[in-house]
Structures are given as C-alpha cells and as structure tokens.
Structure 1
Amino acid sequence: MRIRQYAAFWRLLWAVAGVCAMAVASITSSQACAADLADIQRRGVIRVAVPLDYPPFGTIAPDLTPIGYDIDTAHYLANRLGLSLELVPVTSANRVAYLVSGRVDLVISSLGRTAERARTIDFSVPYAPFFYGVFSARDEGMWASADALAGKTIGATRGSLEELQLSTMAPATTVIKRYEDNVTTLAAFTSGQVDYIATGTPIAASLVQQGGARVPHPVLLLKNSPCAVGLRKDAPVLRERVNAAIEAGLNDGTFEAMSHRWFGVGLPADMQPSHTLIAP
C-alpha cells in the first residue's frame, strides 16, 4: 500500500474524529525543589519507557535498532535536556507501573491522558495525535453507536486505553478477547481469530500500509486521546522542561517532520502550542 493511501487513511480517521487533540490544562511555573531533574542530571542518563510492539510509534528495525515516532521523541527530548538516553521496552500493561516504581523517568509510549491515570502520574502537553476505534475486517461503514457492538467479539490489548474504553461502552453481550500485548492482538486479527479489533488509528493505518487479505476498516470511534509523556508527580521541574521542549519542537517543525516520516501526513492543524513555557 503506497504512502498516498496511507496518508488518505489518516485524513479519513481525523475527519471521523471531528477534531484532533487540544493541549492539556496550562502548566504553571513550579516552585518546588529541582531535585527531580537534578538527580537525573547527576546520573547523566534519562531512562525512557518506550513501546517496541506498536508501529509506527515503536518497533524493531531489521538491524534490531528501535525505531518509531516515540523512539524519535525520546531521542529528541534527551538531546534537549543534554542527557544520554536509555530506552526501556514496556507494554501497555506495565508502562505506568515502571514509572511509578522508579524504573524509568519518563513514559513515551503512545500514552493517553485519563482521569484514572492522572490520579497516579502527571502528563506533559500532547506531542502526537491519537484516537482509538473499533475496526472490522470488512468494509461495513461507520456504525451509528456502540449498540452495534452487541453480540460481537472484539480483540483488544489488556490494560490499553482502548480496552478500558471498550469495556465501558460495550453492551453486556459483547465478548472482549483480551491479549497480553499488541503483537498478539494484531496477530489475532490478521490470522482471523477475531473479525474486530479495538486499537489506535496508527496501528490500523500501519496494517493498511502493509496490505494483506485482512485490512482494517473503521466502524466505531471510541475516544480521541492525544499522546502525552508520562511523568511522576514528584518531578515538577522535569515536567516543565519536557513541556518546554515539546512546545519548541512543535514551533520549529520537529514534530511535523516526524509525523510525515512515520504517519505519512503532517500534524493536524489543531495540534499547536497552547501556551508559552520557559525555554529548556
């Protein structure tokens, strides 16, 4: 499937979503002690949780090098902070736990902001567009509502935002088959174990790009959820610096170029800096 079709698929999904992500609530200058960032600077290395099973956000190249939008974002932020980078592979189910337990300093893993997660961790301003949907192996057109899920079996990755959202929206007769990672979920769809899958639009678009007998077709929008960097709540200075770096990258075209590279289309017009932060 050529990149032109890939880009057209993204534009279609943005149109279905209506509008893309708006930046989260404004960040005020922190008066807390800078120990959160200072400790990392003394170490000289920032540990970043990233996906390696979720293209185009994170995957492994033929030469075994991690590549993807989230990988590029991790390198960009480490460079802006003047730190060496340690990539830590995670899954949807364990990425927040890695952050809370202190095994990583940041989560850059197609992470969406939710009220539940916000009680445990902090978030940066958005750095990438993302929304979740249900996709069919057949071209059925868009469903009118979640009522159409009744009686159907949907594959989803356990602990992912789409799985949590699907659980709240699905009628009682919907069967949700939960898999432990994204690779297994996608394999269930492409092999015909399930005819429907709940996933993020980049994953669906990557399957369209690859081609094959079972190409996903969007049938239901679940949630518009732009990606943000996850941080511990005891790291307000680090959060400020990460926010400033993201704003700078949006202004200077860094993330626009990354979007073209990995999604085949530029960032949506809505994804603009919403406030000015101190320069990193």
Structure 2
Amino acid sequence: MTPIRSSLAAACLSLLALTAHADLLDDIMAAKKIRISTDVAIPPAGMMDANMQPTGSDVETAKLLAQDWGLQIEWVPTTGATRIPNLNTGKADIVISTLSVTPERAKIIDFSKPYAVLQSVVGAPKNASIKDWGDLKGKNVTVSRGTTQDTELSAMANDKGFKVVRYDDDATVVAAGATGQAEVVATSVALVNQISAKNPQKPWEPKFVIRNFDLAIGVKQGEPRLLAKLNEWVAANLKNGKLSDTYKKFYGVGLPASMTN
C-alpha cells in the first residue's frame, strides 16, 4: 500500500499547491490596484497636462479600464524599449502604450483584442522630395529604439541603402526632427505632427505609409484569465463606443468601422 499512499499524498500536495496559487488577475483584484505601463512622452497617446497629470488616448483608456473594474492605477513609466521587459519582469501587470501587435512580440507576450490603431509612416520636412523607399537611399532614417519601425526598417536597411539611427524614446526623436538633427523619421503620424508643432518654420509631413498596426493591451504569457477579462472589456467598450470616443478626443477621428462593428 505504500506506493499507493505515496501517490495519493503527492496528488494531494499538488492540488493544495494549485489551490494556493493565485494568478495575476486574482492578485490585481485582491489588491484593488492595477499596475499599468504607459509612456507619457508620446502625445497624443500619452503626455502630461498643465497640472503635470498624465493624459492622452492611452492614459484615458487605462483610466476607463480601471474605473470599470473598480481599481486604482499605479502608473509604471516606460519607453518603447522597456514596455515588454516591464511585463516579463513583473514590474507591470499590463501595458497600454501604443503597443503594436506583431508576430515577433506575440512569441514573448500575449495581446488582448485590438483597442485602437496606429498608422506607421516615413516623415520628413515638407520640402524634402521623398515619395517611396527608393528616395531613402543614402539617407539616415531615425527611429525610436525597440519600436516596430526599428524592427522593420533594420531588416530592410541594407537592401534599400539607408541607415537606421536609433534614439532611446519618442521625445528625443521629435526633438531631433525639430532641431534638424534628423533628416527623416519612421514613426507615427502623431509624432510627425509634433515635429512640425515644435518648429512651425520648418514643417514636416508624412511622406508615405509603412503600414497600419493594431494596438492592443500587452499581458505576460501564462495569464489566461486576465487576458480573457481584458478581451471582454475591449469588446464591450468597442461596442458601446467609449474606446472610439476616447480615440477621437485625441486624434480627431474615431476608430475604423471595421473595429467598432
């Protein structure tokens, strides 16, 4: 009977261990607080208002989520390069920070259903003669380190004959464009517009679209209950129009009908 008793004891211990283990959703709800990683240096998705309080489309999305779930927010500062590490090292519970859904990222984190979109473009001064990839030959193209633009352009730089120049965050990319240190950038439409706003005498514009990206909430892998609850929340707030209203407030247009329908 000894082997049988041993097997039963091992099974009981395993069951007790599983019962005692609280997953991340349980931890969040028990603490009544959610740690959200958001970059507040990339207007209009994230920025500081006149009272030095965070605002922007991603910030308001995060606030809406916390309000619906009855939670307080602990903001976890991030840049483009630290969003995923913040998740996988346990610094943040979720990421809401213009996080584009890509196959490479999906190998190391999970994504919720898309809650917004991002148009990725090549931008340059308005008087620059740039219409397509061929016009970038011999030029330096500035990106934010760790972004989708960094990944995508780095893979094609040799073939297209341009050089990728990396800055640590979007704010320094905007500053580089406004001061003339950057001749071309690969980023979002919103950041190209920021460059123009910082130096109206030398306006910039999007030259051509790289691609449109779905933006989703990032979650550490292995948290299926949290991911399912996020998906339910995104679906409900796309249906009731709140996510589209938030997007329109900061970008001037609502989300595509393909998302809200």
Q: TM-score, normalised by structure 1?
A: 0.80
Task: Report if aligned partners of 1:108, 1:229 keep a CA contact under 8 Å in 2.
Answer: yes
Cα deviation 1:44-91 (Å, max 9, x = unaligned) = 110000011100000111211011001001111112222111111100
> Could you say which residue in structure 2 is the equivalent of 1:152?
139
Contact 2:177 2:195 in 1 (8 A): no
1:150 CA drift (Å): 1.1
Distance 2:127 2:141 in 1: 16
* Residues 1:180 and 2:179 are matched in the alignment: no
What are the superposed Cα offsets for residues 173-223 of structure 1, whole Å, 9 maximum, x if unpaired? Answer: 312211111111111100011221111122224445666123222223222
For 1:209 and 1:189, locate their aligned partners in 2 and report how far apart those are by CA, in whole Å: 11
> Are the aligned partners of 2:175 and 2:195 in contact in 1 as well (CA < 8 Å)?
no
Q: Structure 1 residues 34 and 141 mapped into 2: Cα distance closer, same or farther (>3 Å)?
A: farther
Higher helix share: 2
Note closer, same or farther for the CA distance 1:152–1:219 as it changes in structure 2 (3 Å cut): same
Extract unaligned runs of 5+ from structure 2.
1-20
Identify which of 192, 200, 211 aligns with 2:188: 200
For 1:64, give the aligned amino acid.
M
Cα RMSD for the two superposed structures: 1.9
Partner of 1:276: none
Identity of aligned residues (%): 33
Residue 207 of structure 2 corresponds to 219
Q: C-alpha displacement at 1:248, in angstroms?
A: 1.2
**What SS does the aligned partner of 1:93 have?**
helix
Matched to 2:171, the amino acid is V
Is residue 69 of structure 2 the alignment partner of residue 81 of structure 1? yes
The equivalent position to 2:153 in structure 1, one of 166, 169, 186, is: 166
Is the contact between residue 162 and residue 200 of structure 1 (CA under 8 Å) also seen in structure 2? no
Q: 1:210 to 1:246 in 2, by over 3 A?
A: farther
Aligned to 2:83: 95
C-alpha contact 1:133 1:221 (8 A) present in aligned 2: yes
Q: CA 1:216–1:34 in 2, change beyond 3 Å: closer, same or farther? A: farther
Instruction: Tell me if structure 1 keeps the 8 A contact 2:178–2:196.
Output: no
Provide the C-alpha distance between the structure 1 equivalents of 2:45 and 2:134, rounded to a whole number of angstroms. 31
TM-score, length-scaled by structure 2: 0.86
Is contact 1:150–1:171 with CA below 8 Å preserved after alignment?
no
Question: How far apart, in 2, do the equivalents of 1:72 and 1:102 lie?
Answer: 23
Quote the Cα distance in structure 2 between the aligned partners of 1:127 and 1:158: 23
Alpha-carbon distance in structure 2 between the residues aligned to 1:186 and 1:124:
29
Matches within 5 A, 1:226-265: 226-265=214-253
Distance 1:194 1:225, change over 3 A: same
**Count of residue pairs brought into register by the alignment:** 240
Is 2:70 the partner of 1:61? no
Distance 2:64 2:182 in 1: 38
Cα distance in structure 1, aligned partners of 2:195 and 2:172: 14
Give the residue type in structure 1 aligned to 2:73: L
User: Displacement, 1:246?
Assistant: 1.1
Q: Would the aligned equivalents of 2:38 and 2:77 in 1 still touch at CA under 8 Å?
A: yes
Confirm or deny: 8 A CA contact 1:130 1:202 kept in the other structure.
Answer: no
Correspondence for 2:30: 42
Q: Cα offset for 1:244? A: 1.0
Q: Secondary structure at the match of 1:255?
A: helix
- Post-superposition CA distance 1:18-41 (Å, at most 9, x none): xxxxxxxxxxxxxxx972311111
Higher Cα Rg, which structure: 2
- For 1:150 and 1:160, the matched residues in 2 are separated by 22
Once residues 202 and 242 of structure 1 are traced to their aligned partners in structure 2, the CA distance between those partners, rounded to angstroms, is: 26
2:74 aligned partner, one-letter code: E
5+ long unaligned stretches in structure 1? 1-32, 274-280
CA distances 1:217-272 after superposition (whole Å, capped 9, x unpaired) = 22232222121000011211111111111111111111121122100122222222
Give the 3-state SS of the residue equivalent to 1:85 in structure 2.
Answer: strand
Change (3 A) 1:156 1:226: same
**Is this contact kept in 2: 1:150–1:174, CA < 8 A?**
yes
Whose relative contact order is higher, 1 or 2, with alpha carbons under 8 Å and at least 6 apart? 1
Change (3 A) 1:207 1:249: farther
